[in-house]
Chains A and B, each alone.
Chain A
Amino acid sequence: MISLEAHNLTVAYDKVPVLWDIDFELPTGKIIGIIGPNGSGKTTLLKTIMGLIKPASGYVKVFEQDLDEVRQRVAYVPQRESVDWDFPASVQDVVEMGRYRKNSLFRRLTQTDKEIVANAIEKVKLTAFKDRQISQLSGGQQQRVFIARALAQGADIFFMDEPFVGVDATTETAILDLLTTMRDEGKTVVIVHHDLQTVSGYFDHLVLLNTRVIACGPTAEVLTQENLSNAYGGQLTLLSKIQSIIKEKEFPIREKGFEKR
């Protein structure tokens, strides 16, 4: 079954395309990485999937339906830096937001909600910190709070924006363990990630992105030097030789004139 598909998706800021003709389909029950160099549109892609940015053309479907029909099954973990951690709230408060629903915003949380919240906090090993104010947490702990909030939603597919940035080793292992458990339960996890070195260890499936989709498929198939060179261009010194060979063969790395704009 297809968990997420994007077709003919183009997104532009001020007429400059950030994503161009994105087309892919992703499997269910896998840990999927969206990778690519800085400015390749990874976060934009995630935001477009979540309906936060309107595409210029194309569409996205989750579980073969429009996002609005499956919102309950979709959890979003924004970048940690995207919020103000000085906000007066405790770990508990933030994770409870995972139980907020469009239609029950004016109701109090039920006992079941509270249990789910406690369970989610337990899963990210923050129970001891649950009453702590969120500004008094380390970066890694803050990231785990965000993940707990997504867990509390009880979703089937998770979209995470750079969850491994600025976290300590403990958190990294904790998150990875958690992701594996989630996958084994049949959940799909889509992660925006920029660190190439860890890619093969983390993900089952990859989308290699640089404004266009360079490659999409199982990690081993995508992670070829040719693909990487296409995505990262001159940014990878190791691959500069290959790049020059490709240039000689006039393999189109990007559309002509792309960089001049």
Chain B
Amino acid sequence: MLTAVLIGTSCSLLGSFLILRKSVMIGDAISHSVLPGIVLAFIFTEERAALPILIGAAVFGVLTTMFIQFLQRKSNVQEGAAIGISFTFFFALGVIMIALSTGGNVDIDQDCVLFGEIASTYLDKIFVNGYFVGTRSILTIAPVLLIVILFVVFGMKGLRLTSFNEDYAKALGINVNAWNYALLMLVSITAVLSFEAVGAVLVVGFLTIPPASAYLITNNLSKMLWLSVVFTLLSAVGGTLLALTLDVTISGMIVSVAGILFLLTWSGKIIMTKSKKIEKLSEV
């Protein structure tokens, strides 16, 4: 559950900016196309060491984005198509690489990549001097979350500016590309970590649903970030508990809860605006 909370928080903070940049699907693309990076790192190091895998993923995340932009600029395909081409292509490469390099008997298997299995992450415990310090996944995610939080807190001005008005940022002489790639690299890293927990498909849920719910009900960027974290907490905790009670998949339940929360927020907002209108009418 802690794993889900940590991953979800990273995802929702980064996802907020993806939503504001209208590039959520890039997050989707990245979450899939980091796979070859992971596999390559795995082949070279022959273990599931965290650092090489993260680097491999970050590299492929950025590669994907560059590839998408390159396709758009040079071949005139529209953004949606460019994204579709790049991420399915990279993901397929990754799947083939898994099959070729390992002959099938590995730690990385395709089901896990797609759907993840959060329930098993707690089995992988790390002991220091005989004391239990946490599970492997929590220990990898915590520093990444810290980096994400620092990035968002200190980079707030840059992120706000480049997300709102890229041309203006460029006109101020700000290196817009550096900001974009920094954001997308963090998305890639977070996506890899989320692989184990929720899998490639559900990462997008984490990246999108909580920030989207928050976006509906606030007009302030910092509030939006806070609220999306709150939504993440609610869905992670609620989803895990529900899943345990009903004995179903945890990651699926978490994202379902997030989705239900989104629908609730949305209908709540509709009702609120309607009642406000009625109030105004009755005042007149």
Residue B89 interfacial (CB < 8 Å): no
Whether B174 and A105, one on each chain, are in contact in the complex, defined by CB atoms closer than 8 angstroms, is yes
Of B160, B165, B215, B220, which contacts A78 at CB under 8 A? B165
Residue A258 interfacial (CB < 8 Å): no
Of A52, A94, A106, which contacts B167 at CB under 8 A? A52
Which positions 94-131 of chain A face chain B at CB distance < 8 Å?
A: 94, 97, 100-102, 105-106
Whether B171 and A51, one on each chain, are in contact in the complex, defined by CB atoms closer than 8 angstroms, is yes
Whether A97 and B173, one on each chain, are in contact in the complex, defined by CB atoms closer than 8 angstroms, is no
Whether B171 and A88, one on each chain, are in contact in the complex, defined by CB atoms closer than 8 angstroms, is no
Residue B224 interfacial (CB < 8 Å): yes
CA distance A111 to B95 in the complex (A): 55
Residue B154 interfacial (CB < 8 Å): yes
Contact pattern, B 134-159, Cβ under 8 Å of A = 1, otherwise 0? 00000000000000000000110110
Residue B172 interfacial (CB < 8 Å): yes
- In the complex, which residues of chain A have a beta carbon less than 8 angstroms from the beta carbon of B70? none
In the assembled complex, how far is the CB of residue B212 from the closest CB belonging to chain A, in whole angstroms?
12
CA distance A98 to B94 in the complex (A): 45
Residue A71 interfacial (CB < 8 Å): yes
Whether B164 and A102, one on each chain, are in contact in the complex, defined by CB atoms closer than 8 angstroms, is no
- In the complex, which residues of chain B have a beta carbon less than 8 angstroms from the beta carbon of A71? 171-173
Which positions 168-216 of chain B face chain A at CB distance < 8 Å?
A: 168-175, 215
Whether A100 and B163, one on each chain, are in contact in the complex, defined by CB atoms closer than 8 angstroms, is no
Whether A87 and B164, one on each chain, are in contact in the complex, defined by CB atoms closer than 8 angstroms, is yes
Residue A68 interfacial (CB < 8 Å): yes
CA distance A78 to B161 in the complex (A): 14
Whether B167 and A97, one on each chain, are in contact in the complex, defined by CB atoms closer than 8 angstroms, is no
Closest to B219 in A: A133
Whether B215 and A83, one on each chain, are in contact in the complex, defined by CB atoms closer than 8 angstroms, is no
Residue B22 interfacial (CB < 8 Å): yes
- In the complex, which residues of chain A have a beta carbon less than 8 angstroms from the beta carbon of B215? 88
In the assembled complex, how far is the CB of residue A3 from the closest CB belonging to chain B, in whole angstroms?
16
Whether B221 and A100, one on each chain, are in contact in the complex, defined by CB atoms closer than 8 angstroms, is no
- In the complex, which residues of chain A have a beta carbon less than 8 angstroms from the beta carbon of B218? 88
Q: Which of B219, B220, B224 has the most A CB atoms < 10 Å from its CB?
A: B219
Of B170, B174, B219, B220, which contacts A100 at CB under 8 A? B174
Apart from the given pairs A76-B171, A93-B221, A153-B172, 14 other A-B contacts in the complex at a CB distance below 8 Å: A50-B171, A51-B171, A71-B171, A78-B165, A82-B167, A88-B220, A88-B224, A89-B219, A100-B172, A101-B172, A105-B174, A106-B155, A106-B158, A133-B220
User: 11 A-B Cβ contacts within 8 A?
Assistant: A51-B171, A52-B171, A88-B218, A89-B221, A97-B168, A100-B169, A100-B172, A102-B172, A105-B155, A105-B161, A133-B219
